[in-house]
A and B are shown apart, each in its own frame.
Chain A
């Protein structure tokens, strides 16, 4: 059973960089069968795809965030990470890491609330 766990600061100051890490167990992020994604959910709102990383470090991002986002991987630790630069209060959300497979997102982390505030 694949499990994902987000970790990182719960509070980030405006204009700073939000950094989160997802640790994956029960499956390898090096597999060419899966995409490893970040999603977020603004308070009381719907779901937004941020981007994903897949085989050999290729990435794809939501155009709405592309200028501020990067996703990287550490295959030795079976982790992948999100950096979101120049955050504002509008970036306050629950951030999820997840696995995408066969046209859907089949495993999700529990999510971590990140608040942007001074």
Chain B
């Protein structure tokens, strides 16, 4: 199984400041055939299902504010929220989709 590890486990950021969450996979999730990283980011608020923010490591899902961005390739990835808003308080997960079993990081709790 590909092990996905996030850091930090929790993070407190002031409103309007930048938040950065890291994700590392135990093996590369870059498919050579299409040059795509099979890595996605999700936001989950209490009592709600996860919401897809970023796929292919850096492609923003339709409707997601542009303050959310993803970067990285291979085994190391980053989710950045450029200017934190109150509604961004949530738990964030990264997910590898390179091969089965699909696996998630342990989550990062983002607070203000």
Contact = CB atoms under 8 A, between A and B. Distances in A.
A103 B49 contact: no
Closest 10 CB pairs of A and B: A104-B55, A108-B49, A104-B40, A49-B102, A62-B101, A47-B104, A103-B97, A103-B38, A106-B52, A46-B107
The secondary structure that dominates the A interface is: strand
Most central of A48, A62, A105 by chain B CB within 10 Å: A105
Interface in B8-53: 36, 38-40, 42, 48-52
A60 interface: yes
Contacts of B38: 103
Interface string B49-92: 11110011000010000000000000000000000000000000
Given A47-B93, A108-B49, A111-B49, A103 B36 contact: yes
18 contacts: A37-B102, A46-B105, A46-B107, A47-B50, A49-B100, A49-B102, A60-B100, A62-B102, A63-B101, A96-B49, A103-B38, A104-B56, A105-B40, A105-B52, A106-B55, A108-B50, A109-B49, A110-B49
Interface of B: 1, 36, 38-40, 42, 48-52, 55-56, 61, 93, 95, 97, 100-107
B25 to A, nearest CB: 13
Contacts of A47: 50, 93, 95, 104
B95 A105 contact: yes
A62 B104 CA distance: 13
B49 A102 contact: no
Nearest to B100: A60
A31 interface: no
Contacts of B39: 103
Contact of A103 (B40, B42, B51): B40
Nearest to B61: A106
Nearest to A96: B49
A104 B97 contact: yes
A54 B67 CA distance: 34
A64 B101 contact: yes
